[in-house]
Each structure stands twice: as structure tokens, then as C-alpha cells.
Structure 1
Amino acid sequence: MGRFVFIVVSIIVLVLGGIFFYKYYFVFGQGVKAGELNYFVNKGFVFKTYEGKLIQSGYRGKVVGTIQSNEFQFSVANERVAQQLMTASGKVVELHYKEYLGAIPWRGYSPFIVDSVISIKDPNRQELP
């Protein structure tokens, strides 16, 4: 009887572990987003995480002749990437991200995790001829 209980408990633990891995560590998708970095902060009560918001503009609105903007909220787990973004508020950035099926507290509040910065451009800076 003890061996049967051990096998059942082992199977349950493996299945729950597989579900947890699939939900929180399986990369569902990845891509690149570009826009103006609205804010980037380090926050949290127990787990300090880096959170940011990117404003993407230029999409057509639902009403003819209007423009609507979208917000892309993301988290950053890499300290080097976070330091790059800390100085880029108000600039146009291109970010590579991975999308997970769920968020976990020590990785951030968002299921979108930025893992690298492709480019940072200052839209207010004038190019000299």
C-alpha cells in the first residue's frame, strides 16, 4: 500500500510541476515592439522588479481620420537591460521581448519580459547636415 501511495504522489507532483513549468516558464511567443518609453521603474514589496510602459503611436483609430495609441506594459529581469532603459525615458526604443502564459512575482508583474534593447533613439535630437 505504501508503494502505491508513493507512486500516486510522485505522479501528481510531476504533473503539477509540468503544469507550473508550462504556465510560467514556457516561452509562448517572442517579438519586437517599438515606441516611446513612457516610464521605467524598480518597484515591489517583497520582490523588487523592473516595470515599464511603451507607448506605440500611429495606429488607425476605429473612427475614420483618428489616430489611437497602444500601451505595451512589460517587465525586465536582466539587470544590464534595466540599466539601459533607466536612462531612456522619453526616447524611442526598440525592445525584444518574450511572452509567457503567466507572470510570477520574482520575474515581474507582466507576462511580457524584455530581454534585450535593439535600439534607443532620441526623437528631439536634431541631426546636423
Structure 2
Amino acid sequence: MKKFAWIAGIILVGVLAGIFWYKFYFVFGEGVKAGSLNYFVKKGVIFKTYEGRVVQEGFQSPTAGGLQSNEFRFSVVDAEVAEKLERASGKFVELRYEEFNGMLPWRGTSNFVVTDVLTVKDPGKTEGAALPFDQ
């Protein structure tokens, strides 16, 4: 009977560890989002985490006939990525992110974790366009 209890206990711990890994560490999705960086801040009571919001072009609404800006809320774990975003407030950014099934307090308050900053551009400037005073 003791042998059965040990085997059942090991199996139970293994199953619980697998569920925990799937919920909090399995990368559910990856992608790229682009928009204007609205804010980026380091905050927290116990765990200081980097949190940000990108406002994307266009509008979406949960109800018919309403307007609401399309926002992408995210967290950042890597200090290098956070440093890039701190200098990009108000600019157009393209961000590579990973989506997890659940959030952890030391990883941030969002299921979306930005892993890389692909592009940072000033919103009013276009590349390669001739300005009137260049002629």
C-alpha cells in the first residue's frame, strides 16, 4: 500500500507541475503589435514590473455604434527592452510579444510580455519623402 501511495503522490505532483507550467510558462501565442506608445512605467508594491500601453490606429467597440480606442496593454521583463521603451514615449513603435495563459506577479500585470522593440519612429516624420524646402 505504501508503494501505491508513493507512486500516486509522484504522479499527482507531476500532473500539478505540468498544469502550472502550461498555465504560467507555456507561450500561447507570439506576434507583433504597432502603434503609438501612450505610457510606460515601472510600478508595483512587492514586485516592481514594467507596464505599458500602445494605442493602435483605428477604433473598435464592444457594443454596436460605440467608439473606443484600440489599446494594447503589456508587460516587459527584460531591462534592455524597458530602456528602449522609456525613451520612446509618444512615438510610433513596433513590438514583438509573447502571450501566456496566465500572469505571474514578478512578470507583470498582463498576459502579454514584450520581448523586443522592432521599430521606433517619430509619428510626424516619413522616410524618404521630399520636404518642400529640399527643392
Query: Does TM, normalized by the shorter one, top 0.5?
Result: yes
Cα distance in 1 for residues equivalent to 2:75 and 2:115: 9
Identity percentage over the alignment? 55
Opposite residue 97 of structure 2, the aligned amino acid is: Y
Cα distance in 1 for residues equivalent to 2:114 and 2:67: 26
Give the conservation status (yes or no) of the 8 Å contact 2:60–2:70: no
Cα distance in 2 for residues equivalent to 1:69 and 1:39: 15
**For residues 5-44 of structure 1, what are the alpha-carbon distances to aligned partners after superposition, in whole Å with 9 as ceiling and x for unaligned?**
1111111100000001111111111111001101101111
Q: What's the TM-score, normalizing by structure 2?
A: 0.85
Shift of 1:67: 6.5
Give the conservation status (yes or no) of the 8 Å contact 1:53–1:72: yes
The farther-off stretch of 101-110 and 67-76 is 67-76
The aligned residue for residue 76 of structure 1 is: 76
The aligned residue for residue 112 of structure 1 is: 112
User: Residues 60 and 108 (structure 1 numbering): CA distance in 2 closer, same or farther, change over 3 Å?
Assistant: closer
| Unaligned 5+ runs, structure 1 | none
Two-structure CA RMSD over aligned residues (Å): 1.9
| Unaligned 5+ runs, structure 2 | none
SS at structure 1 position matched to 2:23: helix
The aligned residue for residue 48 of structure 1 is: 48
Shift of 1:122: 1.0
Shift of 1:69: 2.1
**Matched residue count:** 127
The farther-off stretch of 11-20 and 52-61 is 52-61
Cα distance in 2 for residues equivalent to 1:22 and 1:119: 31
Cα distance in 2 for residues equivalent to 1:84 and 1:44: 20
Opposite residue 44 of structure 2, the aligned amino acid is: G
User: Residues 8 and 60 (structure 1 numbering): CA distance in 2 closer, same or farther, change over 3 Å?
Assistant: closer
Opposite residue 69 of structure 2, the aligned amino acid is: S
Opposite residue 115 of structure 2, the aligned amino acid is: D
Q: What's the TM-score, normalizing by structure 1?
A: 0.89
